[in-house]
Amino acid sequence: MPLYKDEAIILRHYDLGDADRIISFFARRYGRMRAVAKGSRKLKSRFAGRLEPFHVISITFFGRENAELFKLSGAEIIRAHPSLSDNLEKFYRACYLNEAVETGLREGDPNGAAFHAVAQTLQRLADSSSPMEREWITRFFDVKFLSALGYRPSMGHCAVCRKEWPGNGNPVFDPARGGLVCRACGGKQNNVISLSSGAVKFLNRITSTGFDKAARLKPSPQLMDEISRTVIAFRNARLQTVFRTEQLLHSSLKE
Amino acid sequence: MESSQTLLKLTAELQKLPGIGRKTAERLVYFLLKSGDEQVKKLAQALDELSEKVILCRECGGITETDPCPVCSSEKRDRSLILVVEQPLDIAIFERTKNYNGLYHVLMGTLSPLNGIGPDDLRIGKLMGRLEKGDVKEVIIATNPTMDGEATALYISKKLKGIDVKTSRIARGVPVGSDLEFVDEITLMKSLEGRLAI
Ligand SMILES: [Zn+2]
Ligand SMILES: [Zn+2]
């Protein structure tokens, strides 16, 4: 049976039998997978403490090619983010990243760009210092993660006719059609979002900025409102799911 | 085994138990068939009694045959202390230490956003109700030191901020009798944070 070695982010685990766990993880080269970690709930297990959500680990696992469930044989921590459970809002947001991976990626579909987005965002959330900053980090993640899945919002061109956006007029964003929509293509339908030209410029900038320069972008509070609304509507139109972690985040922010 | 609906039904029920797949379930059924009437009746009776007599204590959520449970109704227990645990079986684990004399409170799980479990799915409201009586001076949170367990501890400690009660968390650190070489980095870090003067 082939042995696989990779870098992976732990998504979650659930109990199996008396002492084992099934680990759901996202590997850089192999994609999202699941593996049994034998004895991992025992105190003396070599896995103990190494398989918690959000850990970035060096992983070895084995199994048949295209197996549904692999067997874990090794795990060493590369990066851990214990501070993610020091603050509930951070924790729910980190959980949201993992839910996005489980929702957006099929098992066994490799996606290095999505892996990069999750790994970078976990680090940024761990280092973050305010709810506003974290909202921005989360929405930046959405754009990068969705782009990695092939859903990059069309911000420089009309999403329908591809004509370059003129840079004036009242920009209209159509989540269902995946971006800005010009007047000729019917930017007057329901469920569209009217954007300020500032928001258009900013969203356009996000789509072309990598994580290395992400920290330099900082939207103002009003701009952040527009960006959140637009990105979430875009995400919902693409992924078509209700995120449980997002509901929990909202109810915790209200408390 | 194809013809017997009874066998299929039992196999299907056994498969719902954690850690039991189809093969194990079939093996258990064959074992019961071979072991004779008396063994089967004893098992059936024990299962009957389980559903009839064993309940969860309405106060602490522990497993009991009397409600409230012996711990909750005991005169000898320290009523100013509540130890919060994830599962009813965790109570037995602390009882085995013979070193804890307070009361318990079972949450019935932890926050687990990815498994769809939020604060409303846990017995946190019930805990708040027990604290309202004012007898409790300290709540010790003994959820597992997993990411979900830590988040749950944090959630409860925030909830208790407005109430005049001391909140503590069980210490995390190096297991007794272990070799430091085999302890993971996070546990070592937590053991440094939680170090004690000697
Ligand atoms: Zn157009
Ligand atoms: Zn009780």
CA B177 vs CA A41, A84, B19, B180: distances in Å: 18, 30, 30, 10
The residue among B170, B186, B64 whose CA lies nearest residue A53 is B186
Phi, psi of A221 (to 5 degrees): -55, -45
Distance A185 CA to ligand 1 centre (A): 4
pLDDT for B2 equals 55
CA distance A96 to A151: 18
The residue among B19, B18, B43 whose CA lies nearest residue B29 is B43
Q: Which residues pair with A62 in a beta bridge?
A: A3, A71
Contacts of A48 in chain B (CB under 8 A): 184, 187
Q: Which amino acid is at B55?
A: I
ipTM value: 0.85
Tell me the ligand closest to B60's alpha carbon: 2
CA distance A145 to A115: 9
pLDDT for A153 equals 94
Per-residue pLDDT in tens (0 to 9) along chain A, 255 residues: 789 999 999 999 988 877 889 999 999 999 999 999 998 887 777 887 889 999 999 999 999 888 889 999 999 999 999 889 889 999 999 999 999 999 999 999 999 999 999 999 999 999 999 999 999 999 999 999 999 999 999 998 899 998 887 766 778 999 999 999 988 887 667 789 999 989 999 999 999 999 988 888 889 999 999 999 999 999 999 999 999 999 999 988 877
pLDDT for A253 equals 82
Q: Which position has the higher pLDDT, A171 or B79?
A: B79
Find the residue in B nearest to A93 (Cα): B113
Q: Which position has the higher pLDDT, B178 or A241?
A: A241
CA distance A155 to A165: 8
Tell me the ligand closest to B82's alpha carbon: 2
Find the residue in B nearest to A12 (Cα): B114
Contact A85 B113 (CB under 8 A): no
CA distance A134 to A73: 35
Interface test with chain B among A85, A246, A254, by most B beta carbons within 10 Å: A85
The confidence band for B1, taking pLDDT boundaries of 50, 70 and 90, is: very low
**Strand, helix or coil for residue A71:** strand
Q: Which stretches of chain A are DSSP H helices? A: 88-104, 112-127, 131-148, 197-208, 211-214, 221-239, 244-254
Mean pLDDT across the stretch B163-181? 86
List b or e across A131-166, with b for residues whose CB sees 16 or more CB atoms inside 10 angstroms: eeebbbbbbbbbbbbbbbbebebbbeebbbeeeebe
pTM over 0.80: yes
**Tokens 């995946």 sit on residue:** A178
pLDDT for B153 equals 96
The pair of structure tokens assigned to A173 is 């964003």
pLDDT for A61 equals 96
Mean pLDDT across the stretch B6-26? 86
CA distance A53 to A51: 7
pLDDT for B83 equals 98
Which of A16, A82, A99 lies nearest to residue B186, judging by beta carbons? Answer: A82
How many other CB atoms are there within 10 angstroms of residue B71's CB atom? Answer: 19
Mean pLDDT across the stretch B68-80? 95
CA distance A232 to A207: 15
- Residue A115 near residue A122, CB atoms below 8 Å: no
Tell me the ligand closest to A164's alpha carbon: 1
How many other CB atoms are there within 10 angstroms of residue A112's CB atom? Answer: 11
Contact B182 A46 (CB under 8 A): yes
Which of B151, B158, B187 lies nearest to residue A85, judging by beta carbons? Answer: B151
Q: Rounded to 5 degrees, what angle do the CA atoms B55, B61, B63 make?
A: 40
Instruction: Calculate how close chain A gets to B98, using CA atoms only, in Å.
Output: 21
pLDDT for A216 equals 86
The residue among A51, A60, A54, A44 whose CA lies nearest residue A15 is A51
**Strand, helix or coil for residue A35:** strand
